[in-house]
Amino acid sequence: MERFQHYIDGGFHDGGESFESIDPATGAAWAVMPAATEDDVNRAVDAADRAFAAPEWAGLTATARGRLLWKLADLVAANAERLARLETRDTGKILRETMGQTAYAAEYYRYYAGLADKIEGAHLPVDKPDMQVWTRREPIGVVAAIVPWNSQLFLSSVKIAPALAAGCTVVLKASEDGPAPMLEFARLVDEAGIPPGVVNIVTGFGAACGQTLTAHPKVARVAFTGGPETARHVVRNTAENLAHVTLELGGKSPVVVFDDVDPDNVANAVMAGIFGGAGQSCVAGSRLLVHADMKDRLLDVLKERAEKIVIGAPDAEATQIGPLATRAQLDRIEEVVAKSLEQGARLVTGGARPEGLEAEWYYQPTILDCSDPATASVRTELFGPVLSVLTFRTEEEAVRLANDTPYGLAAGVFTNRLARAHRVVAAIRAGVVWVNTYRTISPIVPFGGFGRSGLGREAGAEAMLDYTRPKAVWMNT
Ligand code: NAD
C-alpha cells in the first residue's frame, strides 16, 4: 500500500495516528494516510505562526511572493496527471474531470501570482491640513483552510493562492476522504521553494483535527468549504478568538427552462449540471424547473441521453460517471430517492445501482418527476446524480420555485428572451446565475452563496482582500 505523510514546517512527517484510504472504484484500501492529532495540528499552526513573521517570508516583496506562486502554478501544471490520477484513485472522480480541475487549480495560482503586487493602500484626503492619512493593506495572519472531499486540489487553490499572494501563511486540512492529491501537492510546495512553515498540509478527522485547527487562538482567518452542519461548528469554534470566517457551503441549485428554447440544446447543459462529478458538486443543478409546455419534450431528450451515459471505472477513457466517493453517500442517496418515490415522485429513469461493476458505490443517473415541491429529493442536498423535476406556468411561479430553498449558491436560466433573462437574473437569490450555460468558472469571477450556501466570496481580486486587513495611519506633519 502507498503511504502518505503530513507536511509541517517544511518537512514530511507521519501523523500521530493513521488510517486506510479506500479506492471507491474497488471498495478496497489502497493507501495509508496520516491522521493529525491535536499535537500535529498545534505543531502546524505554530510553524505557520513563526513563518508569518520570519524574514524568509515576511521580508519578501509582493512581487517575489507572486513569483513563488507562479512557480507553484508551473509545478501543478507539470504534475497535473500525477495529481489528477491520485485524486481519481482516492475519490472515484473520473480522470477527465480531475485533469480539468487540476488545470483550473494551476490557473488560480497564476491569477493570484499576478495579483500579489497589486494590493494597494490609499491616501485619504482628510479635512485636516496638518495631517497625512493613508492605509496599508497588511496580511491577516495564519489562515486555516478546510476543504471537503470533492475537488480538494481545486477548492484548496482558491484559498491557498490568495492567502499567499496577500502574505499570509496557511495550515490546510485536507478531507479525510481522499486526501492523497493534497499530500502529494505538498511536495510541489516544497519544490517551489516556498519557505518552511508558510504552507502546512495535514489531514485527519473533523472532530479531532478540524476542531483543534479552527479553535486555535493563533488562527486569524478560517476559509471553510463543506456542509452547513459542519459550518455551524466552525463558526462556534472561531467565536472564542473572533477569527474572520468565510464559508462555502452546499446548494440545491435550480435550472429554470422556459418554453422558448430548443430542448436539444438545453439538454446537454442540464445533464452536465447534474451528472458531472456524479452530482457530487456544490453547484449541481439538482432542481430542474421547466415550463409545463416544454416538460415532456425535455424529459424525453434527458431520459434518452441519461440512459446512454457510460458508467464505469473512473480512470477508463470512455467513462462518463464513476463511483460515488463514499458508502455513506450511496446510502443517503438511496434513502432519499426511496422516500421521494413513496411521496409520489415518478421515476423517469435510473433509481438503482448499475449491475456488473466491481464495487457497489455506483449509482445510475436518475431523474425524478416530482409534482410536489415538498418532495424529499427537491428539498435535500443529495450530492449525487439525481435530478428532481418541477413544472411552472408563469415567470413569477418559476422565480418563486427557484427561490423556494434555504440555499442560494447557483442557478441556471434558459431563455432566448432578453428582457425575461434580465428580470429572472435579478429576482433569483443565488451567488452565481448562469444564463444559457451552466457551471462555467474563472479565477477572475467571485464565487459564493446567498443564505445557507455561505458567507463571503472566493475567487476574484476582492476575495484576496479578505486575507488582508487595512491599517489606517495618521501622521501629524
Ligand atoms: P463536511 O462538512 O462533512 O466536511 C468538510 C470538511 O470539514 C472536512 O475536511 C471535514 O473533516 C471537516 N470537519 C468536519 N468536522 C469539523 C469540525 N467540527 N471542525 C472543523 N472541520 C470539520 O462536508 P463534506 O461531506 O466533506 O463535503 C460535502 C459538502 O461540501 C456539501 O454540502 C457540499 O455542497 C459542500 N461543498 C461546497 C462547495 C462550495 O464551494 N460552496 C464546494 C464543494 C463542496
DSSP string, 167-220: T-EEEEEE-SSS-HHHHHHHHHHHHTTPPTTSEEEEE--IIIIIHHHHT-TTEE
Task: Report how far ligand 1's centroid is from the alpha carbon of 292 (Å).
Answer: 36
Q: Please indicate, yes or no, whether residues 349 and 466 belong to a single structural domain of this protein.
A: no
Model-level pTM? 0.95
Task: Report how far ligand 1's centroid is from the alpha carbon of 230 (Å).
Answer: 6
Question: Ligand 1 atom 33: the closest Cα is on which residue?
Answer: 250
- In the chain, the percentage of residues whose pLDDT exceeds 90 is 94
Atom of ligand 1 nearest to the CA of 211: 19
Q: Please indicate, yes or no, whether residues 184 and 283 belong to a single structural domain of this protein.
A: no
Q: Please indicate, yes or no, whether residues 279 and 164 belong to a single structural domain of this protein.
A: no
Q: Looking at the domain assignment, is residue 70 inside a domain?
A: yes
434-470, pLDDT tens digit by residue?
A: 999 999 999 999 999 999 999 999 999 999 999 999 9
- Yes or no: say if 201 and 185 are a contact pair by the CB < 8 Å rule: yes
Length of the chain as a residue count: 477
Q: Looking at the domain assignment, is residue 451 inside a domain?
A: no
Q: Please indicate, yes or no, whether residues 294 and 193 belong to a single structural domain of this protein.
A: no
Q: What is the CATH number of the domain that holds 197?
A: 3.40.605.10
Task: Report how far ligand 1's centroid is from the alpha carbon of 395 (Å).
Answer: 34
Mean pLDDT of the chain: 96
- Yes or no: say if 183 and 33 are a contact pair by the CB < 8 Å rule: yes
**Ligand 1 contacts CB of residue 92 (under 6 A):** no
Q: Looking at the domain assignment, is residue 449 inside a domain?
A: no
Q: Please indicate, yes or no, whether residues 218 and 290 belong to a single structural domain of this protein.
A: no
Q: Please indicate, yes or no, whether residues 9 and 90 belong to a single structural domain of this protein.
A: yes
- Yes or no: say if 284 and 383 are a contact pair by the CB < 8 Å rule: yes
Task: Report how far ligand 1's centroid is from the alpha carbon of 281 (Å).
Answer: 12
Q: Looking at the domain assignment, is residue 37 inside a domain?
A: yes
**Ligand 1 contacts CB of residue 227 (under 6 A):** yes
301-334, pLDDT tens digit by residue?
A: 999 999 999 999 899 999 999 989 888 889 999 9
Q: Please indicate, yes or no, whether residues 324 and 395 belong to a single structural domain of this protein.
A: yes
Q: Please indicate, yes or no, whether residues 352 and 336 belong to a single structural domain of this protein.
A: yes
- In the chain, the percentage of residues whose pLDDT exceeds 70 is 100
**Ligand 1 contacts CB of residue 114 (under 6 A):** no
Q: Looking at the domain assignment, is residue 443 inside a domain?
A: no
Compute the Cα dihedral for 219, 223, 227, 228 and give only its sign. positive
Closest residue by Cα to residue 269 from 289, 292, 245, 285: 285
> Which residue among 248, 317, 335, 355 is the active-site one?
248
| Residue 402 pLDDT exceeds 70 | yes
Q: How many domains does the chain have?
A: 2
Q: What is the CATH number of the domain that holds 369?
A: 3.40.309.10
Q: Looking at the domain assignment, is residue 130 inside a domain?
A: yes
Q: What is the pLDDT of residue 26?
A: 87
Q: Looking at the domain assignment, is residue 55 inside a domain?
A: yes
Domain that holds residue 402: 254-435
Q: Please indicate, yes or no, whether residues 286 and 425 belong to a single structural domain of this protein.
A: yes
Segment 220-246 mean pLDDT? 96
Question: Ligand 1 atom 22: the closest Cα is on which residue?
Answer: 206
Atom of ligand 1 nearest to the CA of 453: 41
Task: Report how far ligand 1's centroid is from the alpha carbon of 314 (Å).
Answer: 23
> Which amino acid is present at 348?
V
How far apart are alpha carbons 280 and 282 in whole angstroms? Answer: 7
Q: What is the pLDDT of residue 16?
A: 86
Closest residue by Cα to residue 171 from 235, 221, 206: 221
**Ligand 1 contacts CB of residue 150 (under 6 A):** yes
Atom of ligand 1 nearest to the CA of 177: 26
| Residue 356 pLDDT exceeds 80 | no
Q: Please indicate, yes or no, whether residues 242 and 306 belong to a single structural domain of this protein.
A: no
Q: Looking at the domain assignment, is residue 454 inside a domain?
A: no
Atom of ligand 1 nearest to the CA of 213: 20
How far apart are alpha carbons 158 and 458 in whole angstroms? Answer: 6
**Ligand 1 contacts CB of residue 329 (under 6 A):** no
| Residue 273 pLDDT exceeds 80 | yes
59-112, pLDDT tens digit by residue?
A: 999 999 999 999 999 999 999 999 999 999 999 999 999 999 999 999 999 999
| 248: annotated active-site residue | yes
Q: Please indicate, yes or no, whether residues 334 and 229 belong to a single structural domain of this protein.
A: no
Segment 337-354 mean pLDDT? 96
| Residue 389 pLDDT exceeds 70 | yes
Task: Report how far ligand 1's centroid is from the alpha carbon of 428 (Å).
Answer: 25
| Residue 358 pLDDT exceeds 80 | no
Segment 400-429 mean pLDDT? 98
Q: Please indicate, yes or no, whether residues 297 and 317 belong to a single structural domain of this protein.
A: yes
